Amino acid sequence: MIQVVMRSDDRKSAFKPTHKRWVIERTFAWFDNDRRLCRNYELLMDSSENMVKLAAIKHLLNKI
C-alpha cells in the first residue's frame, strides 16, 4: 500500500551543503575525467599514488 504524505511548507531549517564535502566531491569528479584513474590499472600502490599526483598537477596547470 502506498501512502501519500503532503509536504509541509513551514520548514524549520533550509538545506545548507557542507563546503568541504563539496570540494572533495568535485575533486573526485575531476579525477574521474582522467582515464587512468577510472580503473585501478596499476600494480603497485606507489604507481597509483603517482598517477593521482600527476592528474592533480595536470588539472592545476590547465587552470593557469
The pLDDT of residue 13 is above 70: no
Per-residue pLDDT, 31: 82
Distance of CA 9 to the CA centre of its chain: 31
Per-residue pLDDT, 17: 67
Per-residue pLDDT, 11: 64
Three-state SS at 42: coil
**Residue bearing the bigger pLDDT, 30 or 10:** 30
Domain boundaries, the chain: 40-64
The pTM score is 0.55
Per-residue pLDDT, 29: 84
**34 touches 48 (CB < 8 A):** no
